[in-house]
Amino acid sequence: MLIKIVAILAMAPIAAIVLIIAGIRKKNRKLVIIPIVVFLVLCALAYWGVTSFLSACSNGLTSRDSIVSLYTQNESLFVNAATNSNFSDLEKIDGVQEVLVWDKYVDIQCGGSGFGSSTNYFGIFFSEKDNLRAIDVAGPFDEFVSSGNGYRCEQPDGDNEYYVEPLGNHYFYYEVHY
């Protein structure tokens, strides 16, 4: 999609200029007005494409309140999943994008945003041993600091940040910012 946008933006001015010059040389008003209109339409389409691309960089639930609410409204499903060690039904909950079962934890991914070095991830994880660092995205940060209803830790020599908040029943809300 991005390549198409760049190609349109690169070709549109060149084509418009060529047609405008041809129209001026021939003193043909239509050859001047039509390329200008076409150029403006192409610019509008390119703008729409760029905004669509950028909005695609954010999806799912990306706020603490919405994810905590998701857990609270479906707490019995979360508890049953842990009790039966069968987390597949959690994927049926509106707002859950994917459930990944690992050895030490279960990652219930709810959303993400950003692009490249400004990426954010949001979700819930299950850790039977209540390990705040069970999830791989927690990073090798030094220590947790009490923050709101949970704990935050930051990368000492960078801008990466991890926040975790106990929800109960061995479940935790998490967000990671890179």
Q: Give the amino acid at 56.
A: A
What does the alpha-carbon distance between residue 131 and residue 172 come to, in Å, rounded to a whole number? 9
pLDDT of amino acid 13: 66
Instruction: Verify that 157 and 172 share a domain, yes or no.
Output: yes
Same-domain check for residues 92 and 171: yes
In this structure, the answer to whether residues 49 and 64 fall within a common structural domain is no
Q: What's the token pair of residue 34?
A: 């039509």
Higher pLDDT, 31 or 169: 169
Among 10-14, 88-92, 99-103, whose mean pLDDT is lowest? 10-14
Same domain, 18 and 106: no
Q: Retrieve residue 106's tokens.
A: 């279960």
What is the value of pTM for the model shown?
Answer: 0.67
pLDDT digits (tens, 9 = 90+) for 97-139: 999 999 889 999 999 888 777 889 999 999 999 888 777 766 6
Handedness of CA 94, 67, 154, 106 (dihedral sign): negative
> Do 65 and 13 have their domain in common?
no
Q: 76 and 6: one domain?
A: no
Residue numbers of the domain that contains 73: 60-177
> At 27, is the pLDDT very low, low, confident or very high (cuts 50, 70, 90)?
low
CA angle (92, 131, 148) in 5-degree steps: 85
Four-point Cα dihedral 135, 141, 145, 148, nearest 10:
-40
Q: For the chain, give the mean pLDDT.
A: 79
Domain total of the chain: 2
Residues 7 and 85 grouped into a single domain: no
Do 64 and 51 share a domain, yes or no?
A: no
